[in-house]
Amino acid sequence: MILKNKEIAIIGGGPSGLTLARLLQLKDANVKVYERDLNKDARVQGSPLDMHEDSGYAALSQANLLEEFNKNVHTGADKRIIVNERAEIVLSDHETQPEEDADSRPSNPEIDRGALRKILLESLQPETIVWSSQFFSMEKQNEGWLLHFKEGSSAYADIVVAADGANSKIRPYVTSIKAFYSGIIMLEINVNDAQNAAPHIYALLNGGKVMAFGNGRNILGGQKDNGGLGFYATFKADENWVTDNGLNYSDRKQLLAWFKKEYSEWSSIWYELFKNAATPVIPRPIYCMPLDQTWETLPNLTMIGDAAHVMPPFAGEGANTAMLDALELSKCLTSGKYNTVQEAISSYELAMRKRASIA
């Protein structure tokens, strides 16, 4: 087996990195995940994800985690309405029967990001995650890489997998191709205890999701399992809007005033999101990798997930594609079909680039 006596470092403990770690450990590989977060509770996790049959769900199935996953599926959260800026319903699937397969489960089951992360973390062997390890550089050492972390520690690995997301610090060691700005900003807003804090929106959602469109702007959001809401206000703006707009992201009054101006023709129902937002709200400029990107495969370094192919989130494919990367890379590395790690990576990367462009 090409992984025999090899130490694998996965940089980043998001959906892609954790799924890869789990799948490789099931094949007895020697894996560490280096994650910059201080610990598992360091960050609020964003809005729920729906797992697609052939990608996210397939990866969880191969990882033997379906039982845990199914326990955490958020029933009804996949129901959606489409509304206009006045919050009038244009389309709703709340009344339609769920599309179910032979196992009687929804076709795109929803799970909170936090629950998914917990399931993956708990599936790993103890000491797999090295918290508080923010990668900042590496150099070749012997046949592998010596990794350096901001906190002052270093570690050696024979194989390195970049799973460190859209702003990957490892990607430049693979290719100079960069993501381009899509022209869109998404302002992430979380509201706790939605029933009391945003009662009208809570009622409108009816346990599911909403997509609101009007005047070239958009609001997307949904019910979280913990009684809160996860929302994104989406609009076109310059890339430097995030730093140049003068907004204090922890000042709800200021944010509401901005919203009233920017979304001037929108119903006042949406004000609830800003009046009771958990602060700070998080501005997310949306990037995309060129669809025709290519690079020469390296002997022992590759990328998965957003590090390889960040994309706008509107098709709900990012995390799903990221987890499928983990599945496909683990298969290539452990199938016995390839004579070297480089051949296995090459086969994975060819298919991954094609798949990601389509997504």
**Which CB atom, from 16 or from 276, has the smaller least distance to ligand FAD?**
16
**Which CB atom, from 260 or from 284, has the smaller least distance to ligand FAD?**
284
> Could you tell me the smallest distance in angstroms from the CB atom of residue 184 to ligand FAD?
10
**Which CB atom, from 2 or from 162, has the smaller least distance to ligand FAD?**
162
> Could you tell me the smallest distance in angstroms from the CB atom of residue 63 to ligand FAD?
14
**Binding residues vs ligand FAD (CB under 6 A):** 11-17, 34-37, 49, 133-135, 163-165, 169, 186, 232, 284, 305-307, 313, 316-320, 322
Question: If DSSP states are collapsed to H, E and C, what string results for the chain?
Answer: CCCCCCEEEEECCCHHHHHHHHHHHHCCCEEEEECCCCCCCCCCCCCCEECCCCCHHHHHHHCCCHHHHHHHCCCCCCCEEEEECCCCEEEECCCCCCCECCCCCECCCEECHHHHHHHHHHCCCCCCEECCCCEEEEEEECCEEEEEECCCCEEEECEEEECCCCCCCCHHHHCCCCCEEEEEEEEEEEECCHHHHCHHHHHHHCCCEEEEEECCEEEEEEECCCCCEEEEEEEECCCCHHHHCCCCCCCHHHHHHHHHHHCCCCCHHHHHHHHCCEEEEEEEEEEECCCCCCCCCCCCEEECCHHHHCCCHHHCCHHHHHHHHHHHHHHHHHCCCCCCHHHHHHHHHHHHHHHHHHC
> Could you tell me the smallest distance in angstroms from the CB atom of residue 144 to ligand FAD?
18
**Which CB atom, from 3 or from 51, has the smaller least distance to ligand FAD?**
51
> Could you tell me the smallest distance in angstroms from the CB atom of residue 340 to ligand FAD?
25
**Which CB atom, from 166 or from 341, has the smaller least distance to ligand FAD?**
166
> Could you tell me the smallest distance in angstroms from the CB atom of residue 74 to ligand FAD?
13
